[in-house]
Amino acid sequence: KDPIERNQAFLLSRSTPILHLVSRMPILSNFVRMAVCFSINHGAVVAVLSLANGLLGDNANYENASLYLTYAFTAMFFATGLIDVMGAKRSLWVAAALYSVYVISFPLALIIPKSQPGAEIAVALFGGIVGGFAAGFLWSAQGTYFGLSAKAYAAEKGIEVTEANGELASIFASIFLGLEVVLKLLPLVLIPLNGDISLWAHEPDATNITSNITNFSLAPSPPPPWPADKCKIYKCVATRDLITVSLYAVLAIGSVVGLLSITDLREEQGLVPFANEDALQTTLLKPKKKTFSLDKALAAVHLWWEDPVVLLLAPIQVTFGVCATMLAVNVTGNVVKAKFGSNDWIIFGALFSAMIAIVAAALQWPFKRIASKLGKMPLMLTMLIAFLIESLLIVTLSDKQLGAWGVLVPLYIMQGIGRAGYEGTNKALYADFFPNSLPAAFSNIVIANGLASAASFFLETPLKHDLVLHTGDSIGKAIPVAALVLTGLTIMSYSLAELFRWRRSAGRS
């Protein structure tokens, strides 16, 4: 054989870790394991997040505000550098472990005595800050691992990477949304516990409110709310609430253990066949240098001017965040509560919330088939049109009209359609647009979504009673109007992004 043929044979026998993995372990089963563990971890966080205000009251506002702000800050300045240093696998399990701190903070905060309000606030803030830091690079790590898995899967199956992106995105979204449904329905399973037993966290001497010693006792009690005079002295916590958040904490920790079992996927430095076999071997075995630099830390920001198309895609993430807030505030927290009453609205709210994930999960397979035949653009436009219809209905109809079953159910279906595109097609789209900048690209998803969620969270209360367009409505339409305008602008910005991408591809050909 001539030297080049010998070196090519050597390259195949001593391939990079990704290609070597193909021959010793199915990529798909490893990817599914990652998706399951990741989804359990994230599902536990999302489930607790939806219960936060009911559990901790005002302290939940502080915790969630710190969560969103730290989330966006980490993604903007640290995510890419951390992933480059630790690798996708280690970043995944480290971030998941830190993300679990947010979940764990809730049962801890619940059992803190009423005499120590500062301790509860401190625990809440700590959980929000640590959880936000983790979330800031968790999704970027998942996106990087997703991209590496798609490349390996494409090599294993002999298909294009874009096709692998679409297939794995569909699988991931189905698992992600399916497990979210299961975890969100967990409180419904524990409904029989409500009111049977209560946990009273109190001081040994009820007259000494400043005592630092905490006693706990389980005693039969009537359903909440408890007598006002009793709860002035004792901290009244329903056992169902404590068991629910404790189970979520256990699931979050268990998912971290599961992530330790996935295979490490890393891209090595570029390989070039040499005439000298020893030189090639030296190049193959040379590890990729792990460093943390300012450039790597700011990679997500650098992508803004290196490839400005990422800014045209950012409104998609913002629209999703604002529409999710709109549905939670104007519909679930207002219309659903008024329709079903203070005793049952939480049950129906949980069911409607689960409906969103069910619709999104059910659409992953047909979306995948459509994407393989028509491309991703029709699906992305479908997602945005669903958000447009949803916001238009909420703006134009009164609270009473929105409460009709014929309107209420379609609203959640529209959000489910949008969620299907966001969790599946949207993630695959970023992998297609930025194949060589995966950590920075997925960090931009986190930045846009995080800042939008933080802004929506802070503006929810001051804007709650602005733009009351219908007589008898108890809440204004400021957020829905913003969502309607934003969705229209997003359709235009996404169309421009696709146009620039098409021109770029045409120029290369």
Q: What is the structure's pLDDT at 200?
A: 46
In the predicted structure, residue 445 carries a pLDDT above the cut 70: yes
Residue 93, C-beta contacts closer than 8 angstroms, at least 6 positions apart: 256, 259, 260
How far apart are the C-alpha atoms of 249 and 276, rounded to whole Å?
55
- What b-and-e string marks burial along 348-366, b requiring 16 or more CB atoms within 10 Å of the CB? bbbebbbbbbbbbbebbee
In the predicted structure, residue 330 carries a pLDDT above the cut 90: no
DSSP H or E segment with residue 218: strand 215-220
What is the arithmetic mean of pLDDT over 346-363? Answer: 82
Strand order in the sheet with 235-238: 215-220, 197-202, 235-238
Q: What is the structure's pLDDT at 274?
A: 36
pLDDT tens digits for 383-423?
A: 999 999 999 999 999 888 998 999 999 999 999 999 899 98
Three-state SS string over 378-393 comes to HHHHHHHHHHHHHHHH
Whose CA is closest to 167, among 180, 154, 158, 178?
154
pLDDT tens digits for 179-194?
A: 988 888 887 777 665 5
How far apart are the C-alpha atoms of 330 and 322, rounded to whole Å?
12
Q: What is the pTM of this model?
A: 0.67
* Single-letter amino acid, residue 402: L
Contact 379, 367 (CB under 8 A): yes
- Token pair in block for residue 273: 């066949």
How far apart are the C-alpha atoms of 23 and 344, rounded to whole Å?
54
* pLDDT cut 90: percent of the chain above it: 24
Q: What is the structure's pLDDT at 427?
A: 82
pLDDT level of residue 131 (50, 70, 90 thresholds): very high
pLDDT tens digits for 299-308?
A: 777 888 888 8
Lowest-confidence pick of 103-112, 134-143, 200-209, 492-501: 200-209
Average pLDDT, the chain: 76
Residue 343, C-beta contacts closer than 8 angstroms, at least 6 positions apart: none
Strands 235-238 and 197-202: antiparallel
A 10 A CB-CB count for 301 gives: 16
pLDDT tens digits for 15-31?
A: 444 444 443 458 888 99
What is the arithmetic mean of pLDDT over 336-348? Answer: 71
Q: What is the structure's pLDDT at 141?
A: 87
Exposed, middle or buried: residue 192 (CB in 10 Å: 0-12, 13-18, 19+)? exposed
**Distances from the Cα of 212 to the Cαs of 29, 108, 119, 219, 237, in angstroms?**
51, 15, 11, 22, 19
What is the arithmetic mean of pLDDT over 322-344? Answer: 78
Looking up tokens 């007589």 gives 471
Lowest-confidence pick of 36-45, 128-137, 218-227, 378-387: 218-227
What is the arithmetic mean of pLDDT over 67-74? Answer: 84
Map out the domains of the chain as residue ranges. 197-240, 308-433+461-509
pLDDT level of residue 344 (50, 70, 90 thresholds): low
Phi-psi region of 467 (alpha: psi -120 to 50; beta: other; left: phi over 0): left
* Identity of the highest mean pLDDT range in 113-122, 399-408, 444-453: 399-408
Pairwise pLDDT comparison (206 vs 31), residue with the higher score: 31
How far apart are the C-alpha atoms of 63 and 128, rounded to whole Å?
5
Contact 429, 376 (CB under 8 A): yes
In the predicted structure, residue 104 carries a pLDDT above the cut 80: yes
* Single-letter amino acid, residue 367: F
Q: What is the structure's pLDDT at 103?
A: 94
Whose CA is closest to 296, among 84, 107, 479, 138?
84
pLDDT level of residue 257 (50, 70, 90 thresholds): very high
What is the arithmetic mean of pLDDT over 88-98? Answer: 91
* Identity of the highest mean pLDDT range in 229-243, 362-376, 402-416: 402-416
Q: What is the structure's pLDDT at 57?
A: 64
The 3-state DSSP class for residue 197 equals: strand
Fold of 308-433+461-509: Growth Hormone; Chain: A; (1.20.1250)
